[in-house]
Structure 1
Amino acid sequence: MPKHYPVGIFDSGIGGLTVAAAIRRAMPAEKLLYLADLARQPYGPKSPRTVTRYAVQAAEFLVGRGVKALVVACNTASAVALEAIAERFPELPLLGVVEAGAAGAVAASASGRIVVAATEGTCRSQAYERAIARRRGGCRVTCVPCPLFVSLAEEGLTDGAIVESVARHYLAPLFDRLGGDDCLVLGCTHFPLLAPALARLAGPGVRLVDCAEATSTMLAETLRGLEAPVGGAGGLSLIATDAPERFARIARRLFPSLDEIGTVELADL
């Protein structure tokens, strides 16, 4: 693939912009092409068959635009559809946030007792349990579905009493006990937006693993030999399958560091 081609990124909504922001910080010369499948979000409660179909369609759209690598910035799609995308595009460098998050968890946890906050679909797939076990045997992984976190992030509610109440509802039974859990994986790309509230709930002895940062690190390794020329301007182009104006408005509020957010293109898959 030509080095000047962009990196394709897709998610069901705005959460994957945490990945885009991490990549922009680490590799500012890279051009990024981001697709938000707002018309069909959320992916989390949907069946693996449906998510796989949506994910392959998103990948086909981005490959049709011309990308040199593809990042599946949706934990649910990464958990169930990565193999199908790889089969569809065997020559395309491909990575998903689940593998990156699992690698980050193994590095962060001293005790091997890991909590993963994720969507229903990701927990149902047991993808984190398998990915962590491949890297380190004997870990105890507890995956907790936290579906309301996605809605909170999409509405711009990232901290405060409502977020803390929902977080306690899902996670307090784990962190109020003396179970030795020392790592909390933010297993959905929306969840880093709630990180301050989640860190307070988990406590100072628990390390948070941001899958967006872990994915950025893994992408840098994947792009060796395909890096954009040093000094390149980079940039971020956004596409949505529904409500582009609302998407742009929320993105500007939640990601002020991404000052490239302008007009969002509307597209059908």
Structure 2
Amino acid sequence: MKRAIGFIDSGVGGLTVVKEVLKQLPHEQIYYLGDTARCPYGPRDSQEVHQFTWEMTNFLVDRNIKMLVIACNTATAAALADIREKLDIPVIGVIQPGSRAALKATQNNRIGVLGTIGTVQSMAYPKALKGLNRRVEVDSLACPKFVSVVESREYKSAIAKKIVAESLLPLKSTKIDTIILGCTHYPLLKTLIENFMGSDVAVINSGEETASEVSALLDYHDLLDHDEIGANHRFFTTGSVSIFQDIAQDWLDVPDMQVEHIKLGGAS
């Protein structure tokens, strides 16, 4: 019987990581939980994010997942270390893989990080980047409006273009040559971000690097699925099934997508 890789996120953003995993590991089965009813996590207290992350984790662990991917930067910063210590399955977040990818890309050791308020305040990216390369300089910028733009399906609109331009203006005067999309919602705005920042700035989607880490860890633990029998992917949301399904089908090429509404804690 196939065991799934579990993904958790505050909403639909983690689907950007799922997309890369499905590309690299097409035989794997995916269980994804987006806590859209309580999204965004960015402005919330870290203790509350820690609690919500555990609620999502327990839901998927009860469904016998073989690995957990915390596909949310805010949740990774708040809860990864604790969850990794207490679970007996491999657990990975998105901050370390994104940091490594940015350090490979930068030519001048000047890196920008776009994130939620919670991720920026946690200093998780500067710590991770400087832990790997002490010479790197980091400019962090909270972009709280980005998540709402994505969750409301406005990410291809003129409104999104305006919000991206207004939010990123402070980075235009810096010398950064690389930007980390430090929230898994942000890759849905990647084209707009690239257009505004210009071709001299590399934009890093940590989902690609995270997918490579998923593959390596599954291989290391002998958990890779080589069975070509069709995977029964399952998607769970605490919010609107129709909105989640619209975005997920736009972003992923998954036929007969099953999306189920669930309740967690105070979510409805």
Does residue 197 of the first structure (1) align with residue 206 of the second (2)? no
Q: 1:208 aligns with which of 179, 203, 206?
A: 203
Rounded to whole Å, the distance in 2 between the matches of 1:228 and 1:160 is: 39
Partner of 1:92: 89
User: Does the 8 Å contact 1:245/1:264 carry over to 2?
Assistant: no
* Count of residue correspondences: 263
SS in 2 for 1:65: coil
Q: Which residues of 2 match residues 146-165 of structure 1 at below 5 A?
A: 146-165=143-162
Secondary structure in 2 matching 1:223 = helix
- The 3-state SS of whatever aligns with 2:141 is strand
SS in 2 for 1:233: coil
TM-score where L is the length of structure 1: 0.93
The residue type paired with residue 231 of structure 1 is E
Pairwise CA distance, 1:264 = 2.5
After TM superposition, give the deviation of residue 230 of structure 1 in Å: 4.6
User: Where does structure 1 lack aligned partners over 5 or more consecutive residues?
Assistant: none
8 Å contact from structure 1 (residues 118, 187) kept in 2 = yes
Please give the root-mean-square deviation of Cα atoms over the aligned residues, in Å: 1.6
AA at the equivalent of 1:9: F
In 2: Cα distance, 1:217 partner to 1:7 partner: 14
- Matching residue of 1:26: 24
| Per-residue CA distance 1:122-178 (angstroms, 9 max, x = gap) | 000000001111111111111100011001111112234322221122212212x2x
- Say whether the 8 Å CA contact 1:248–1:264 is kept in structure 2: no
Residues 239 and 261 of structure 2 are in contact (CA less than 8 Å); yes or no, is this contact kept in structure 1? Answer: no
Q: Tell me what 1:245 maps to.
A: 242
Paired position in structure 1 for 2:66: 68
Corresponding residue of 1:262? 258
* Residues 8 and 62 in structure 1, CA contact (< 8 A), matched pair in contact too: yes
Percent of aligned pairs with the same residue? 32
Q: CA deviation at 1:41?
A: 1.4
Unpaired stretches in structure 2, ≥5 consecutive residues: none
Whether the 8 Å CA contact 2:240–2:261 is kept in 1: the answer is: no
**Of 72, 77, 80, which residue of structure 2 is paired with 1:79?**
77
Write the distance in 2 (CA, Å) between the matches of 1:230 and 1:207: 37
1:171 equivalent to 2:185? Answer no
Using the size of structure 2 for normalisation, the TM-score is 0.93
Cα distance in 1 for partners of 2:121, 2:86 equals 24
Partner Cα distance (1:28, 1:264) in 2: 22
